[in-house]
């Protein structure tokens, strides 16, 4: 079968590999749609957050169809449409698509307990966005829930940030994206943001005051992961605001007005992943209140997976790139 393989750090190829054989507790899945994530490039660079070995097949944002099930598998059968979690194994020790070969292949194997049935209301494209959307949904959940009384700022217009915009807007909150790139600000308005503002603009502070009636934002979802943006969350927050840090940074730093944590009585929490929230996330998406597929800006066949990787790195043109494998 054909697969995208990271043979070694900084070496990716599309090549023929042997189709996997499943064990009693495993499921064989035909891949249909796979998203490319920033963490895939960390894997390709040899800089992923847990130990991995090469060669490895990437692909952790996916949707596919069950082809065969092992003798000990219950509750799944051939023809079922499924999506799967990526932090797996005892204590989340393994990451599907990183330490375990993933979905960027015509077929792949997974354990049944990682999988969730994809409702008919959701396309394969939407299904391949369940993983990143679950992080955005987790952010709204961690903030204590949102409602129309909340002014929400999302800092950072990457895929997770834009999905945070969609999730918050689906809760009927008034959402503002804070993002320097104009194309990302325009996309946020398509996803339900009421406002989209440039943090580098001279009138940025005035814009925040005008949007929030001088109060600041009731909820701040920080999805940029850049230390200066993370520090700015404290400044745009209202008194008693809830701040959720989603964006990932390891080892960098920036000056921050830490006294604002106390003087504004801020409630701050970081999140990683979305363990335990996948069933709720899928039900939320199946309700039709949001269409996450709006962030998909390019799709490539598996044979052109290297071109898909290049497109995903062109952030001025693309938000989310998918590899269509079937």
Residue 231: per-residue pLDDT = 98
CA separation for the pair 101, 54 (Å, rounded) = 10
Of 310, 313, 316, 308, the C-alpha closest to 128 is 308
Residue 20: per-residue pLDDT = 97
Residue 60: per-residue pLDDT = 97
Residue 248: per-residue pLDDT = 87
Residue 255: per-residue pLDDT = 97
Tell me what the pLDDT averaged over the chain comes to: 96
Residue at token pair 């299904």: 127
CA separation for the pair 112, 110 (Å, rounded) = 6
Radius of gyration of the chain from its Cα atoms, rounded to whole angstroms: 20
* Region 84-93 average pLDDT: 89
Residue-level length of the chain: 326
pLDDT over threshold 80, residue 66:
yes
Sorted by where each starts, the structural domains of the chain and their CATH numbers stand as 2-118+291-324 (3.90.180.10), 132-270 (3.40.50.720)
pLDDT over threshold 90, residue 326:
no
Residue 251: per-residue pLDDT = 84
* Region 4-16 average pLDDT: 98
* Region 77-95 average pLDDT: 93
* Region 282-309 average pLDDT: 97
What does the pLDDT look like over 232-264, one tens digit per residue? 999 999 999 999 999 988 789 999 999 999 999
Q: Quick check: helix, strand or coil at residue 127?
A: helix
Q: What percent of the chain has pLDDT over 90?
A: 94
What does the pLDDT look like over 107-144, one tens digit per residue? 999 999 999 999 999 999 999 999 999 999 999 999 99
What does the pLDDT look like over 272-295, one tens digit per residue? 889 889 999 999 999 999 999 999
* Region 35-60 average pLDDT: 95
> What are the φ and ψ backbone dihedral angles of 59, each rounded to 5 degrees?
115, 95
* Region 183-196 average pLDDT: 97
Residue 92: per-residue pLDDT = 83
Of 138, 140, 176, the C-alpha closest to 156 is 176
CB 136 within 8 A of CB 33: no
CA separation for the pair 163, 323 (Å, rounded) = 19
pLDDT over threshold 80, residue 306:
yes
DSSP annotation string for 162-194: HHHHHHHHHTT-EEEEE-S-HHHHHHHHHTT-S
Of 232, 229, 260, the C-alpha closest to 247 is 229
* Region 301-313 average pLDDT: 98
CA separation for the pair 276, 135 (Å, rounded) = 11
* Region 167-182 average pLDDT: 98
What separation, in Å, do the N-terminal and C-terminal C-alpha atoms of the chain show?
12
Q: What is the DSSP letter of 269?
A: E
């Amino acid at each position: 079968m054909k697969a995208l393989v990271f043979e070694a750090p900084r070496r990716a190829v599309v090549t023929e590999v042997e189709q996997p054989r499943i064990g009693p507790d495993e499921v064989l899945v035909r891949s249909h749609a796979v998203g490319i994530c920033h963490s895939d490039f960390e894997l390709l660079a040899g800089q992923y957050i847990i130990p991995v070995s090469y060669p490895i097949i990437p692909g952790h944002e996916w949707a596919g169809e069950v082809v065969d099930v092992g003798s000990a598998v219950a509750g799944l059968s051939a023809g079922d449409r499924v999506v799967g979690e990526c932090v797996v194994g005892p204590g989340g020790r393994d990451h599907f698509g990183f330490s375990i070969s993933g979905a960027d292949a015509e077929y792949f194997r997974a354990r049944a307990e990682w999988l969730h049935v994809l409702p008919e209301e959701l396309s394969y494209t939407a299904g391949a966005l369940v993983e990143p959307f679950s992080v955005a949904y987790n952010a709204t959940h961690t903030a204590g829930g949102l409602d129309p009384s909340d002014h929400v700022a999302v800092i950072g217009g990457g895929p997770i940030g834009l999905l945070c915009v969609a999730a918050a807007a689906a809760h009927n909150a008034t959402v503002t994206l804070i993002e320097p790139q104009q194309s990302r600000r325009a996309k946020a308005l398509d996803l339900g943001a009421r406002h989209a503002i440039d943090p580098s603009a001279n009138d940025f502070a005035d814009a925040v005051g005008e949007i929030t009636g001088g109060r600041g934002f009731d909820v701040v979802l920080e999805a940029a992961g850049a230390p200066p943006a993370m520090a700015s969350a404290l400044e745009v927050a209202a008194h008693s605001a809830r701040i959720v840090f989603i964006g990932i940074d390891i080892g960098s730093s920036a000056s921050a007005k830490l006294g604002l944590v106390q003087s504004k009585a801020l409630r701050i929490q970081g999140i990683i992943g979305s363990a335990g929230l996948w069933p709720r996330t899928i039900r939320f998406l199946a309700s039709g209140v949001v269409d996450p597929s709006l962030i998909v800006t390019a799709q490539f066949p598996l044979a052109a997976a290297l071109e898909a990787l290049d497109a995903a790195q062109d952030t001025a043109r693309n938000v989310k790139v998918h590899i269509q494998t079937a």
